[in-house]
Structure 1
Amino acid sequence: MKVLKFGGTSVGSSKNINNVINILQNYAKTDAIVCVVSAVGGITDKLLLAGRQAKNKDNNYLETFELIKDIHFKLIKELNSDNHDSIVSYVEDKLNALKSLLDGIFLINELSPKTSDKLVSFGELLSSYIIAETMKNRDMSAARKNSQDLILTNSNFTKAEVNYGVTNTNIQAYFKEAKEQVTILPGFISKSRLGEQTTLGRGGSDFTAAIVAAALKVEQLEIWTDVSGMFTTNPKLVKQAYPIKKISYQEAMELSHFGAKVLYPPTVQPVLDLNIPIHIKNTMEPEAVGTIISNEEIPANGSVVKGISNIGNIALITLQGSGMVGIPGFSKRLFETLSQEKINVILITQASSEHSICLGIDESDTEIAKNAIDATFENEIQLHKIDPILVEKGLSIVALVGDNMKNHQGISGKMFSALGRNNINIRAIAQGASEKNISAVIAEKDVKKALNTLHEQFFESKTKQLNVFITGVGNVGEKLVEQIKQQRKYLKENLKINLRVAGLSNSRKMIFNEDGIDLSDWKVQLNNGESASLEGFFENTKALNLRNSIFVDVTANSDVANLYQHYLRQSIGVVACNKIACSSDFDNYKLLKRLSLKYNAPFLFETNVGAGLPIIDTLNNLVASGDKVTSIHAVLSGSLNFVFNNFNDNTKFYDVVKQAAAEGYTEPDPRIDLSGVDVARKILILARESGIEMNLEDIENKPFLSEAGLKSTSVDDFYKTLIADEAHYQALYASAKAKGCQLKYVAQFNEGKANVSLQEIPSDHPFYNLKGSDNIVMFYTNRYANQPMIIKGAGAGADVTASGLFADIIRIGNN
């Protein structure tokens, strides 16, 4: 004999009920079947709603009743196109009885627990009758037996306690004589010794099936639901979650207690003592393996954590005060108070100092609990022996579960560090000595990020998901997006980095997708996006609350740079080619560095100097290894190097600058490059990264532009000065040529001082043969005192700048 249970979703439509009947038909070929069914999906909630409406004198209870009626008649018609008159007749009688009950509740304005049990019992009684009669109409050997005739309980309405002695005898006696191949039992419902209708608690259909399975001592209990087993975590919140093939009774109970809805916790108890396995199966996918729950020894060759679960709507109540220390009885009085109010304590934690006790309860019980505790400890609060009760709402519990966690060191460390890296604050922690469960209380808003973070840590093949938000998808930004699109597969397969672009913005539009933007047509999506704003981009990024989030600034906008600190405070990493933040006031630069450390949010800006060249990274490694930078000599402007490599007495300075702008070597405003401000910012950043406190005004800037060019008030006006002052620029070139020199714009840092200027470089100098838009940096240090460390290569251009940003993103992924 086999015992199968089908939940509300499994019998929630005619299509699903047909699936159930097909499954039962296949099983009945070889075994006698006991099938426990829940009410049609959503009906129990509707019955309770109608009851509350009737109690509150709300005439809408009649509409709710009509909806319940329509759902059942529609099922009958769809399942039994012919020969359904007898089914309709029975159901009409039951629905008339339900209507009379609701009318009575309306008249007396009362809904007691006893009446509530009678009310909700209609759901299972109706569904079980319809399914059994449908099977008979299809010539199957089937019967419906009312579970209320079999399961005897006390009179603790809404959650009755089973009298197993009488119940087991009733079940065994009935099925000893049963002739039908399939027996349908309504789940959840029972009767008291006095003949009153009782229920086994929400989720009690599982309990019914377990009681029957234990009484009949079957080989296995099968629970059929709408998912393919117990998952590693909630698949609605974590797309990477997958079914657990085998799990122990204790692990299943822990996961069920902490929010895994597949199994009702008390279900396990009747079969636990008899070591009857429970098999969780999917009605919609009967061939799926599902999950087997048993006492079988499961090899710990996989993850020692079996699952991650959570309970929402949690409130923390804290009783604390110096007057508690060393005084016995506080805990006893606290728990007795809650017990008298029938408030379930979900989580307990107490500091070893005895200064505080923290309890997690359902948020709906908060007001009752606070009032009761305040009354109990009124005297101590008035005497300031303890503080007024502290209540915190909007919380959730996340829990790691696994029998083998106790045999492995560092599980809790990995859990808390993973949460900490993603700015998920832990309000309370509970871990028993058995170490089968590690629970943490966090903000409700962080649950999805927490579950994804922990699932990645403990269940995924060391693949780290990065969620990137890019502002500024112009020339460089577009190249970055294309590089990400091209390399995503490589990163996932070779570096175990799952890189997703979750947000994009230009000056006009912005788009977001928490599952990652499809990069095959991102431009079309962006054009159809919402209106862009810097604050809006930040708020959307924060609201998505994705793990391992990185904000990428591909602008030259000071307003964007001013938002870095807000991103860092949310533990969102920042990658920037925008030089404004790191060359701003020194206090702001140090603040961003401190925030990066405090909130464990990377702040990388390699492309601030030398585009894709590893200049800052090399400098940081020198300093970290104990070396000291004594001086820096560099050509740091790819745009200026391009300009002076192409300018001669056969060209015009205006034409060369225009060409540099057209090829993307200069900023949109070329004055930033040609005035030397851009180079000054770069040498300032290198000086600061070397450990020197310095501001932009401390750098001596010797301009080469004409006076009119320096005073120009717009880009158009500036270009006009280049034409008018051609003789000035030709004179600079002629002077260098006469000496056999090349013009190079050089940045120097030495003995705590820095300057930038246009210099005439002789032929024997390393800068002389610098071609195109190349940059070069020479670091003189204590270790490289005579021969400098030289870094040389392309220092401008959209592709190399994008690759530098990409390298910073990958660097974060590898850490």
Structure 2
Amino acid sequence: MKVLKFGGSSVASPENIIKIKNILLAYNDPIIVVVSAFGGVTDQLLQAGEMAAKEQTGYKDILSEIETRHLDTVKELIPITAQSKVLSKVKSELNILETLLEGAYFIGEITPKLSDKIVSFGELLSSYIISEYLASEGLDAVYKDSRELIKTFKLAGKNVVDFTLTDTNCKEYFKNNGAFITVCPGFIATSKNNDITTLGRGGSDYTAAIYAAALEADILEIWTDVSGMYTANPKMVKQAKAITHISYEEAMELSHFGAKVLYPPTIQPVLSKGISILIKNTFKPEEEGTLITKSRNEGGKTVRGISHIGNMALLSLEGPGMVGIPGISKRFFEVLSQADISVVLITQASSEHSICVGVSADDVEKSVEVVNEAFAYEIERGKIKEVIPEKGLAIVALVGDNMKSHQGLSGKMFSTLGKNNVNIRVIAQGASERNISCVINEKDVKKALNALHEEFFEENVKQLNLFVMGVGNVGAKFLNQIKSQEKYLKKNLKLNVRVVGISNSRTMHFDEKGIPLDTWQDTLSTGQKADKQLFIDRVNDLNLRNSIFVDNTASAEIAGTYADFLSNSISVVTCNKIACSSEYYNYARLKSLAREYNAPFLFETNVGAGLPILDTLKNLIASGDKVLKIQAVLSGSLNFVFNNFNDSNTFHDIVKRAQEEGYTEPDPKIDLSGIDVMRKILILARESGYVLEIGDIENNSFLPKESLDTTNNDDFFTSLVKYESDFQKIYADAKAKNCKLKYVAQFENGKASVGLQEIPEDHDFYNLEGSDNIVLFFTERYKNLPLIIKGAGAGSDVTASGIFADIIRIGNF
């Protein structure tokens, strides 16, 4: 014999009930079918009872909705020729329900006994209608009222199943019952006095387990709206997978910590009998589901699932008066127990100075009141502090039978959470080591579950969530590079890079599932109006793991947002030099925030575009070397200009060409005035360990003052035409000496300077072509022959690749 239970979602509509019939057709052995009330009806019955007790006539509207739903279901499922009997029975039961509600209305209250009677109608009606429908379809199906079989008695004020009497009733009935399908209502029972009682939360599952245990069934099948127990909540973790096989103990741990497909009491009756439980999906019956058995998970994954309980609060009892005083713990837990408050988590410091417990946030006010009252004497004398609750919390738990035999799981769990700035308030781990639990802020639950699932279940594929500001030349190239490398990154580097948000100066768009990179231009064009603060707020609200803000702009305003991102554990990657070349205090603060919140702040492209200049410098410093002098050509745009400028063209035309080909900033004066180079040498000096401000750098500009004083590009280019003869003279003077013009940055003895220089043939800079950059590092290890880095130092492609490289660095952290 098999016992099948179908939950509220499985019987929520006539279409779903037809699905149940089709599932039952596949069985060859006798089966007991336990059903819940139609989806949502139990809540309606409770609401109607409460309204009637408050003398609110609105309960009649709810009753009318319940009646219409059940009668319509009968009319849709059962042929007209067989409807009369069923409709008559359903109306008769609804009349009784109406009488009970009227009684509550007239007396202005509802007792627990009356509440149980009212709520029982949900299962009574659904099970009767389903049994009649199955019979009308030609199946050998009968109805049996669970109230006649399952008996309860009072224990500590609660209804408890009398298993001795219940087992006897079940065995006697089913020994003589020859029907192939027996449909029974779940959730309901009766006392020895035949008063209607209910079995509480998960009551229909419990009913099915009671039948399975009493009759020693082959298996207990729980049919619901998901395909088993998952490695994590699939609504929060899209990559979660159904667990095919799990032990009783693992299932109980997961169900206790929020896996709603199963409730811990369900397992108890079948546990001692060794009866397996199978969780199946009514809407996808072909899927394997989850098999729960007595056998342990031998040789399988260490962590079988990740679960959580939300809406939690912490209560801490602490104070010097607790140390060495026997009975404090007993009093604490006793007062909570007497107030009918369930303690979900317990942790105590070995110093005995404090005890911390987790309770439902719904019980927190009552908990604080009874505990402070119980310890009023000690609180008044300062021996124990007044209990102040912490709210807005959740418990996250790792579950697995094999966890105890593997070292480092706790460290791995806490390290993963720490890397994503998920603050852990409390840690609890039982001696069995089947469960490791920690309390975190509820707002971090989704991020925590995804980060842990990625760490323990996704074959080390790390998801990076990017928020990209600026999609012009560099930004567009960057997005295209990500698109072209998606498969390579997943296969070879185990990185899943998703762009979740993009923005330009006009519009912005977010998609938590990831923005398709083959159509991002169209998506952005129809996005909402761009707003810097809304962009920041949205990134913070999403609170995704491994979040990275990518700044492809040259905006001082955007550079000013980095602290907001870093202080929320959102990494920053930027080609924008403004932040790192601003006041030293701001530069140092950003670096400090990056360390404090474990959020990398990378800006490799600030100097040399895609060249590994800063990375090399960092490695030199980290290895104990010291920079003595830096000589460099750091402006790809200026190098391009002076490599192409001669007496057969004009300075204006070459600068214009450099701008059009993307070698200069949008405002080319930033490059030609030397400001850009000053920023770069300043960043190099700071990364070398020196404290320097941009005002400390000597700028020997070659531009006329009139050009420097222009306020827009048109006026700037006009001034270049005006002073063409000056530029030609500079070129002629250098040519006469057989020198080339290079714009050089230098740092030595704590001082920095930039300016145009005439470079002779024997210098390392002489043969620098195109837009290439070159840096010479003279250090204590490279005193005579400098360490040289040379290559393309400008252009949207190489800058985008430098940003991409920083993204990969973060992925490999």
Shared fold (TM-score greater than 0.5)? yes
Instruction: Output the CA distance in 2 between the equivalents of 1:753 and 1:76.
Output: 90
1:784 alignment counterpart:
782
Q: Given residue 444 of structure 1, which amino acid in structure 2 is its aligned partner?
A: E
Instruction: Output the CA distance in 1 between the equivalents of 2:523 and 2:155.
Output: 58
Q: Given residue 6 of structure 1, which amino acid in structure 2 is its aligned partner?
A: F
Quick one: which of 330, 333, 351 aligns to 2:331?
333
Where 2:101 maps in the other structure, the secondary structure is helix
Say if 2:16 is the partner of 1:3.
no
2:736 alignment counterpart:
738
1:22 alignment counterpart:
22
1:80 alignment counterpart:
78
Q: Given residue 26 of structure 1, which amino acid in structure 2 is its aligned partner?
A: A
Instruction: Output the CA distance in 1 between the equivalents of 2:633 and 2:76.
Output: 80
Q: Among the aligned pairs, what percent are the same residue?
A: 60
Quick one: which of 670, 673, 679 aligns to 2:671?
673
Say if 2:292 is the partner of 1:293.
yes
Q: Deviations over 1:531-567 (max 9, x none)?
A: 1122111111000000000000111111111111111
2:133 alignment counterpart:
134
Q: Matches of residues 163-242 of structure 1 in structure 2 within 5 Å?
A: 163-242=162-241
How much is the aligned-residue C-alpha RMSD, in angstroms?
1.2
Instruction: Output the CA distance in 2 between the equivalents of 1:163 and 1:440.
Output: 37
2:656 alignment counterpart:
658
Instruction: Output the CA distance in 1 between the equivalents of 2:148 and 2:368.
Output: 43
Q: Deviations over 1:486-533 (max 9, x none)?
A: 111211111110000001011111111111111221111111111112
1:118 alignment counterpart:
117
2:572 alignment counterpart:
574
Instruction: Output the CA distance in 2 between the equivalents of 1:113 and 1:488.
Output: 60
2:12 alignment counterpart:
12
Instruction: Output the CA distance in 2 between the equivalents of 1:768 and 1:57.
Output: 95
8 Å Cα contact 1:320/1:387 also seen in 2: yes
Q: Given residue 3 of structure 2, which amino acid in structure 1 is its aligned partner?
A: V
Instruction: Output the CA distance in 1 between the equivalents of 2:75 and 2:661.
Output: 72
Where 1:347 maps in the other structure, the secondary structure is strand
1:640 alignment counterpart:
638
Instruction: Output the CA distance in 2 between the equivalents of 1:52 and 1:613.
Output: 71
Instruction: Output the CA distance in 1 between the equivalents of 2:238 and 2:415.
Output: 22
Instruction: Output the CA distance in 1 between the equivalents of 2:442 and 2:705.
Output: 61
Q: Deviations over 1:634-680 (max 9, x none)?
A: 10001101111111111111111111111111111111111101001
Structure 1, 713-722 or 224-233: larger mean CA deviation: 713-722
2:266 alignment counterpart:
267
Change in 2 beyond 3 A, CA 1:222/1:273? same
Q: Given residue 126 of structure 1, which amino acid in structure 2 is its aligned partner?
A: L
8 Å Cα contact 1:349/1:358 also seen in 2: yes
Q: Matches of residues 356-755 of structure 1 in structure 2 within 5 Å?
A: 356-755=354-753
Q: Matches of residues 63-78 of structure 1 in structure 2 within 5 Å?
A: 63-78=61-76
Instruction: Output the CA distance in 1 between the equivalents of 2:481 and 2:568.
Output: 27
Q: Given residue 116 of structure 2, which amino acid in structure 1 is its aligned partner?
A: D
Q: Given residue 640 of structure 1, which amino acid in structure 2 is its aligned partner?
A: L
8 Å Cα contact 1:117/1:157 also seen in 2: no
Q: Deviations over 1:329-363 (max 9, x none)?
A: 21111111111110101111111111111111111
8 Å Cα contact 1:159/1:200 also seen in 2: no
Instruction: Output the CA distance in 1 between the equivalents of 2:228 and 2:366.
Output: 37
Q: Given residue 250 of structure 2, which amino acid in structure 1 is its aligned partner?
A: E
Instruction: Output the CA distance in 1 between the equivalents of 2:9 and 2:430.
Output: 35
Instruction: Output the CA distance in 1 between the equivalents of 2:640 and 2:187.
Output: 80
Q: Matches of residues 746-765 of structure 1 in structure 2 within 5 Å?
A: 746-765=744-763
How far residue 169 of structure 1 moved from its aligned partner, in angstroms, is: 0.2
How far residue 57 of structure 1 moved from its aligned partner, in angstroms, is: 2.2
How far residue 159 of structure 1 moved from its aligned partner, in angstroms, is: 5.5
How far residue 387 of structure 1 moved from its aligned partner, in angstroms, is: 1.2
8 Å Cα contact 2:634/2:745 also seen in 1: yes
Instruction: Output the CA distance in 2 between the equivalents of 1:254 and 1:171.
Output: 30
Instruction: Output the CA distance in 2 between the equivalents of 1:260 and 1:707.
Output: 72
Change in 2 beyond 3 A, CA 1:562/1:158? farther
How far residue 156 of structure 1 moved from its aligned partner, in angstroms, is: 6.2
8 Å Cα contact 2:297/2:401 also seen in 1: no
Q: Given residue 332 of structure 2, which amino acid in structure 1 is its aligned partner?
A: L
Q: Given residue 23 of structure 2, which amino acid in structure 1 is its aligned partner?
A: I
Q: Deviations over 1:427-474 (max 9, x none)?
A: 111111111111111111111111101100111110000000011111
Q: Matches of residues 99-118 of structure 1 in structure 2 within 5 Å?
A: 99-118=98-117
How far residue 807 of structure 1 moved from its aligned partner, in angstroms, is: 0.6
How far residue 714 of structure 1 moved from its aligned partner, in angstroms, is: 2.8
Instruction: Output the CA distance in 2 between the equivalents of 1:465 and 1:161.
Output: 48
Structure 1, 460-469 or 725-734: larger mean CA deviation: 725-734
Instruction: Output the CA distance in 2 between the equivalents of 1:757 and 1:99.
Output: 93
How far residue 617 of structure 1 moved from its aligned partner, in angstroms, is: 0.6
Q: Deviations over 1:226-268 (max 9, x none)?
A: 1111101100110000111111111101111110011111011
8 Å Cα contact 1:238/1:451 also seen in 2: yes
1:151 alignment counterpart:
150
How far residue 59 of structure 1 moved from its aligned partner, in angstroms, is: 2.0
Gaps of 5+ in 2: none
8 Å Cα contact 1:117/1:158 also seen in 2: no
Q: Deviations over 1:166-212 (max 9, x none)?
A: 00000000000001110001111000011110011121111111111
Q: Deviations over 1:360-386 (max 9, x none)?
A: 111111111111111111111111111
8 Å Cα contact 2:298/2:402 also seen in 1: no
Instruction: Output the CA distance in 1 between the equivalents of 2:156 and 2:708.
Output: 87
Counting matched residue pairs gives 812
Instruction: Output the CA distance in 2 between the equivalents of 1:639 and 1:67.
Output: 74
How far residue 26 of structure 1 moved from its aligned partner, in angstroms, is: 1.8
Instruction: Output the CA distance in 2 between the equivalents of 1:60 and 1:498.
Output: 53
Change in 2 beyond 3 A, CA 1:491/1:638? same
Q: Deviations over 1:394-445 (max 9, x none)?
A: 1111111111111111111111111111111111111111111111111111
Q: Deviations over 1:50-82 (max 9, x none)?
A: 111212222221111111112212211221243
8 Å Cα contact 1:317/1:390 also seen in 2: yes
TM-score (norm 2): 0.99
Say if 2:52 is the partner of 1:61.
no
Structure 1, 209-218 or 713-722: larger mean CA deviation: 713-722
Q: Matches of residues 344-359 of structure 1 in structure 2 within 5 Å?
A: 344-359=342-357
How far residue 158 of structure 1 moved from its aligned partner, in angstroms, is: 9.9
2:32 alignment counterpart:
34
Gaps of 5+ in 1: none
TM-score (norm 1): 0.98
Where 1:395 maps in the other structure, the secondary structure is strand
1:801 alignment counterpart:
799
Instruction: Output the CA distance in 1 between the equivalents of 2:219 and 2:641.
Output: 81
8 Å Cα contact 1:641/1:744 also seen in 2: yes
Q: Deviations over 1:601-640 (max 9, x none)?
A: 0110000000011110111111112222211111000110
Instruction: Output the CA distance in 2 between the equivalents of 1:682 and 1:305.
Output: 48
Q: Given residue 281 of structure 1, which amino acid in structure 2 is its aligned partner?
A: K
Q: Given residue 217 of structure 1, which amino acid in structure 2 is its aligned partner?
A: E
Where 2:75 maps in the other structure, the secondary structure is helix
How far residue 104 of structure 1 moved from its aligned partner, in angstroms, is: 1.4
8 Å Cα contact 1:113/1:158 also seen in 2: no
Where 1:745 maps in the other structure, the secondary structure is strand
Q: Deviations over 1:286-318 (max 9, x none)?
A: 1211111111133324x2011111111111111
Where 2:189 maps in the other structure, the secondary structure is strand
1:244 alignment counterpart:
243
Structure 1, 80-89 or 399-408: larger mean CA deviation: 80-89
